Structure 1
Amino acid sequence: MTEPLLIERREDRVVATLNRPEKRNAIDQDMIDALHALCAELEADPRTLILAGSETVFAGGADIAQLRDRDAADARRAINATAFIRVNELPMPVIAAISGYALGGGAELAYAADLRITSPTLKIGNPETGLGIMAAAGATWRLPEIVGGARASELLLTGRILNADEALAWGLVSSIHPAGELLGAAHALADRIAANDALATRHTKLALRAPRQQHPDIERELQAELFESDEKHRRMTAFLNRKKKS
């Protein structure tokens, strides 16, 4: 049986490649189970996560054959949404390297990432209403946070599919790279993250994800912890020493 996720583990990051090429990387129950298992690993041992697909398709959507047979009880279980929330709430940053098609549930998995980069072949959007359902795995609340309410409404109510240039202009992705260089660009982002203090990175992500009403109190408490850390003193001392020598 083919593994739904191909996982490469490094000391400071994990690369998870969606691996259902015969189904255009459609997200089925096995892939959801694999995402949960990976999240459990990264919750226990925090590292940056890079999510990737192939050069032609990130994820073509949820598996329609399974989706067609799901009923109201399945909808209330929020099968995909629960996994994507867990991805979004991982302690360290999540980078989505999106090439080709990212539709429906595939787009919603990308929305759950902290950073999204793409290739010029990107086609991203949520055509769910054309299939008699709605985008219910995070798009209705994540998209307004990412691109604003007006643009989120246009995407979700019309089923419009964005290309790479449109996604960049709308702020849905942060950069475009040739397909063959996309994973390298994701690793370059992970390298920059790895060069920083892991706890400071985790606290920054936590503050970014906190509801508005928790600010500014959450920054004060997280910063207070960082101010007492050995790593803060070590890094600042090294900075001052370098400055003296320059």
Structure 2
Amino acid sequence: MTELRNDTGTHLDASGFATLLVEEREDRLAVRLHRPEVRNAIDQAMVDELHVVCAHLERTPKILLLSGTPGDPEAGTKAVFASGADIAQLRERRRDDALAGINSGIFDRIAKLPMPVIAALDGFTLGGGAELAYAADFRIGTPALRMGNPETSLGIMAAAGATWRLKELVGEPAAKQILLTGKVLTGEDCLRIGLVTELVEPGTLMDAAHALADTIAAQDPLAVRISKAVFHAPREAHPVIDTLAQGMLFESQAKFDRMQAFLDRKKK
């Protein structure tokens, strides 16, 4: 991987990015996949830039919003989140490339970010694009969403998280139907099986994603970070990890301030 260094303290300098559009606020980072000429196919350059984003968010924890290219009715173009890995690059990769876990590595890093990740999904969200969406904590879709893993039709498997994340998200029967038959789900299908939490119209997709980010941002950031970390801890770590984490939070100033504010409001 070519190392990119576009981080300037608390602000991510994305001016050198070629595949991502970035908007940064005090409490969130909105990242739009931007290779519309190839339906946002995930190539090595995009992977490298996503690693830079992750490095920044690991140092400066913020909510991450992931989205794709919106549709343009006037131009007649359809929305797309990501149509999958770049097939031209994928065709040339061999065993050692697969063993390097190029996409699984970045998706796992995104899943483990300190603050929640929200994926705003419209249009094609296939293959590696679907696996990127599975790595998010929240998924919001539109009726035009088309999500699935057609890898077996190309002679490979979904190896960047789908074989285990999808089962955790929707259960074994639905996961097998997606992975072993190449079934592409509609937005309504995704909502029915719980793969997305809500469906909104394309024009309000980013508003819905930011509204969810607003709700998260209104919570205590440390409590959110620790809750996410504890949630993803292995079963055998519970309940000890819950008790230790709560002990840490009980000493935070935010706990005293927020509880006192609650009591003050109750008196009114």
Q: Secondary structure at the match of 1:7?
A: strand
Distance in 2, matches of 1:217 and 1:125, equals 37
Q: Which has the higher helix share?
A: 1
Letter of the structure 2 residue corresponding to residue 224 of structure 1: G
**In the alignment, what sits opposite 1:241?**
264
Q: Which stretches in structure 1 are left out of the alignment for 5+ residues?
A: none
Distance in 2, matches of 1:10 and 1:90, equals 17
Distance in 2, matches of 1:217 and 1:153, equals 34
Q: Secondary structure at the match of 1:136?
A: coil
Once the two structures are TM-superposed, the CA of residue 212 in structure 1 deviates from its matched residue by 1.2
Q: Identity across aligned pairs (percent)?
A: 58
Matches within 5 A, 1:36-185: 36-55=51-70, 56-185=79-208
**In the alignment, what sits opposite 2:25?**
10
Distance in 1, matches of 2:213 and 2:17, equals 27
What do the CA deviations read for 1:106-141 (whole angstroms, capped 9, x no partner)?
A: 000000000000111000000000000000000001
**In the alignment, what sits opposite 1:224?**
247
What do the CA deviations read for 1:22-54 (whole angstroms, capped 9, x no partner)?
A: 000000000000000000000000000000002
Once the two structures are TM-superposed, the CA of residue 151 in structure 1 deviates from its matched residue by 1.0
Moved over 6 A (4+): none
What do the CA deviations read for 1:156-195 (whole angstroms, capped 9, x no partner)?
A: 0001000011100101000001001000100000000110
Letter of the structure 2 residue corresponding to residue 44 of structure 1: R
Distance in 2, matches of 1:243 and 1:175, equals 33
Q: Is residue 213 from structure 1 mapped to residue 228 from structure 2 by the alignment?
A: no
Q: Is residue 193 from structure 1 mapped to residue 216 from structure 2 by the alignment?
A: yes
Letter of the structure 2 residue corresponding to residue 98 of structure 1: L
What do the CA deviations read for 1:76-98 (whole angstroms, capped 9, x no partner)?
A: 00000000000000000000000
Distance in 1, matches of 2:213 and 2:18, equals 24
Distance in 2, matches of 1:146 and 1:239, equals 35
Alpha carbons 2:17, 2:49 under 8 Å: kept: no
Distance in 2, matches of 1:240 and 1:120, equals 43
Once the two structures are TM-superposed, the CA of residue 150 in structure 1 deviates from its matched residue by 1.4
Distance in 2, matches of 1:213 and 1:148, equals 21
Q: Secondary structure at the match of 1:49?
A: strand
**TM-score under structure 1 length normalisation:** 0.98
**In the alignment, what sits opposite 1:27?**
42
Distance in 1, matches of 2:85 and 2:184, equals 16
RMSD: 0.9
Letter of the structure 2 residue corresponding to residue 231 of structure 1: A
Distance in 2, matches of 1:223 and 1:13, equals 25
**TM-score under structure 2 length normalisation:** 0.90
Distance in 2, matches of 1:210 and 1:48, equals 20
Worse-superposed segment, 2-11 or 14-23 = 2-11
Q: Which stretches in structure 2 are left out of the alignment for 5+ residues?
A: 1-15, 71-78
Distance in 2, matches of 1:52 and 1:208, equals 25
